[in-house]
Amino acid sequence: MQEQDSRATSFTTLAAGGDFRHELDIKRSRFITVLRRTGTEDAARDLVAGLRREFHDARHHCSAFVIGPDRSIQRSSDDGEPGGTAGIPMLEALLKRETAPGVSDLSDISAVVVRYFGGVLLGAGGLVRAYSESVSAALELAPLVRRSRLRICSAAVPHAAAGRLENDLRAAGTVMAETSYHDRYTVLRIAVPDHADAIAAASDRILQLTAGSARLTADGTEWVDEPRT
């Protein structure tokens, strides 16, 4: 499913950037959890393949991932652990993670837990707890963001005024999209909730900040990262 076809208008995901890693020692076994933001199944499987190469001497590389604003793609793998003791608990940790009180909407995220066996058998229940705890502990510390489908609006302004206007907009809490530069002007792009009142308020703000010299044009929608409040 394409993001633009989703019924959801927002979800929570891992902040853009590198992988997030966290390690637990449980009864002498090492559980290394790696989280990565992944928007496709191929990207999720690339993470697993890369970690198999990096930790080639580990006994298990268990994985789970959730993809799509509607969380329509959900997969998990026990990778040699007893059935149902690793991948499913990891997937449940992703699906049930509360990102706000009463809200569980984490998506576009993959988790791989690399296990180095320490010589002490954990039993089925112990494995379930260990793999679930490994992912949950990593999520407690990982940087998360809101990803929302917003209306992109643009305004063409003189180069000399662009920097000040962008600073003023950011100071007012406006979510900025990518700025583009042209020979005679700069196009500032802002992201606002996709409804008429929000677009009208943004347009009024641009008129006030530019003394009426710039007007806002509403374009299409895009998925944009926003700080979590």
pLDDT tens for the chain, residues 1 to 229: 445 567 889 999 999 989 999 999 999 999 999 999 999 999 999 999 999 999 999 999 999 999 999 999 999 999 999 999 999 999 999 999 999 999 999 999 999 999 999 989 999 999 999 999 999 999 999 999 999 999 999 999 999 999 999 999 999 889 988 899 999 999 999 999 999 999 999 999 999 999 999 999 999 999 999 877 6
**Same-domain check for residues 50 and 157:** no
Residue-wise pLDDT for 55-96, tens only, equals 999 999 999 999 999 999 999 999 999 999 999 999 999 999
Whether 179 and 203 share a structural domain: yes
What does the DSSP assignment read for 153-207?
EEEEE-HHHHHHHHHHHHHTTPEE---EE-SS-EEEEEEE-SSHHHHHHHHHHHH
Element (H, E) at 46: helix 41-54
Within this chain, do residues 166 and 92 fall inside the same structural domain, yes or no? no
CATH number of residue 122's parent domain: 3.30.230.30
Domain end position, chosen among 142, 158, 190: 142
CATH number at residue 192: 3.30.70.240
Count of structural domains, the chain: 2
Nearest to 174 by CA among 153, 160, 156, 196: 153
Are 93 and 185 in a shared domain? no
pTM: 0.87
- Cα-based torsion angle of the residue sequence 165, 169, 170, 172 in order, rounded to the nearest 10 degrees: 140
Identify residue 132 by its one-letter amino acid code. S
Taking the C-alpha atoms of residue 100 and residue 78, their distance in angstroms, rounded to an integer, is 29
- Asked if 125 and 188 sit in the same domain, the reply is no
Query: Same domain for 88 and 44?
Result: yes
CA dihedral over 128, 92, 145, 101, signed as positive or negative: negative
Same domain, 49 and 131: yes
Q: Which domain holds residue 162?
A: 147-226
Q: Which of 142, 170, 200 is the last residue of a domain?
A: 142
Read off the tokens for 132: 């679930």
